[in-house]
A and B are shown apart, each in its own frame.
Chain A
């Protein structure tokens, strides 16, 4: 079984994101970048499946600028066998990413494609479902548990009401929740080894995919600031404030 894992380079989750003064976006210069957190879970799950002898090859793929290779390298360092970069510039919307990935799926014919359930930069939560639609494959989104039963995958999904279990036939798309597993850290020797693993590079035009954005970003603004609150000295004072000042209880 071959597994394709889609990863994305994003502003590190610990960074306090700031809006640019001219309202054209957020500040990315000299800001720490990392792999999108749930994508780490996606890679981890693929590596676990391979370690269990149920997969033969893991390909890590990303769509983004040249530097996005760092994110692919990280995946290679934790156990992916080879990488693919679809090199782009500027904003690439989830639909365009899904179309580019579709071309790679046609070529590589994986049995499974893993995604993180959502990228923490644009918070779109679309790409996995979109690829699944384009391929007309089953989709198991927000997965917190995966069990492989021959050509069928049993997936527990996190939904608003609690948990849902579905079975999907392979090939299938899975989008991974942060609770799916505990991503490992790459060891130094594996980081060194990863440098020798191949990364194939394509452009969108190599693949014949139009990635022109369809959604124009008109402006980006700071959220409204909350006015500073106060510290209360005791529980009695807190309850009194909630009752008499805020009038919420």
Chain B
């Protein structure tokens, strides 16, 4: 049997987490087929077909597939699922929204957010905000799985020449309608895949002070993150939130500034390779996960940090 991977894309390009999902899928079975559902997304089909791990691309086009509504995507995934042992997508807002709708239609108990494939039916997944890891075995004949993107390496984007099979679209679900999407455009690396992330918390005190973080992010080519407290307080917009109900990041370097380190925030960043904490409260729980802790007032430390970075002859990109 083969694995059906549902691609996330924007009708022009493959979204980066699809590459991690393809890697995870190929650990379940090497015969990975990608289901591409979209509108005028021929370039995406071509890009997917060139990935060495992809053995076939199933490509469906329709105007009502333009904005990835789960109500429109799920029936098609269900329709083509018959010949597959696994249906897989990434556990980001795309896959979290879509996969349970597919699983319920197929009467499958989904396994969410896996971090490891032990065998085609056994997986490891974090529970309780990553305070425990459960090894679970699915007894359904077919599996619906979402994967934690940061736990799997992205697949190769070249070396393949998979056939692209056009498939028929399913009917439109007319009770849900896409209105608009407000994407924040940024020249910085994406939070989910950045090599360095610098995050601010409630200690930043207001939105203007995030400029101190932005200056360092620019210098380090880092993405900007935030705690839920900072997002709730309106200092910065929601797509920056790192944590249990936000994004999970695993950068080489994570710098937490003015973040106390609630369990829910740690859930989103504690797998980072190196963690730096800058906080004036020496007892803050963030120091318990930090490789390097600096007990200091961030309004003094951040300008100094920038100054020290400026003194360096070179900075890794």
User: A residues within 8 Å of B by Cβ?
Assistant: 11, 13-14, 16-19, 26, 38, 93-96, 98, 117-118, 120-134, 137-142, 144, 154, 157-169, 172, 177-179, 213-223, 226, 229-232, 234-236, 238-239, 241-243, 246, 248-249
List A contacts of B316 (CB < 8 A): 248-249
Interface stretch of the complex, out of B34-42, B58-66, B124-132: B124-132
Q: What 0/1 readout, one digit per residue, does chain B (117-137) give for beta carbons within 8 Å of chain A?
A: 000001000111111111111
**A122 and B253 form a contact (CB under 8 A):** no
A63 CA to B76 CA, complexed, in Å: 31
**B293 and A229 form a contact (CB under 8 A):** yes
Contact A162 B181, CB 8 Å, known A125-B96, A216-B139, A242-B276? yes
Which of these, A19, A133, A221, A248, contacts B104 with CB under 8 Å?
Answer: A133
User: B residues within 8 Å of A by Cβ?
Assistant: 69-71, 74, 91-94, 96-105, 107-113, 122, 126-140, 173, 175-184, 192, 196, 220, 228, 231-232, 237-239, 244-245, 247, 252-253, 263-264, 270, 273-276, 282, 287, 289-296, 301, 304-305, 308-309, 312, 315-316
**A13 and B294 form a contact (CB under 8 A):** no
Q: A133-B104, A238-B294 are in contact. List 20 more A-B contacts (CB 8 A).
A: A26-B131, A123-B129, A127-B100, A130-B103, A133-B101, A133-B105, A141-B93, A158-B238, A165-B180, A167-B179, A215-B137, A219-B134, A221-B132, A223-B131, A226-B291, A229-B290, A229-B293, A231-B292, A238-B308, A242-B253
A162 CA to B238 CA, complexed, in Å: 7
List B contacts of A179 (CB < 8 A): 231-232, 238
- Interface class of chain B by DSSP: mixed
Which of these, A133, A162, A172, contacts B184 with CB under 8 Å?
Answer: A162
A144 CA to B238 CA, complexed, in Å: 10
List B contacts of A243 (CB < 8 A): 312
A226 CA to B102 CA, complexed, in Å: 37
**B112 and A161 form a contact (CB under 8 A):** no
List A contacts of B94 (CB < 8 A): 159-160
List A contacts of B274 (CB < 8 A): 242, 246, 248
- Nearest B residue to A38 via CB reads B245
A19 CA to B99 CA, complexed, in Å: 29
A168 CA to B69 CA, complexed, in Å: 11
Name the residue among A164, A165, A241 with the largest chain B CB count within 10 angstroms: A164
Contact A164 B127, CB 8 Å, known A215-B109, A221-B133? no
List A contacts of B178 (CB < 8 A): 164, 166
Min Cβ gap B295→A in Å is 6
**B176 and A167 form a contact (CB under 8 A):** yes
Contact A215 B181, CB 8 Å, known A17-B128, A94-B100, A142-B93? no
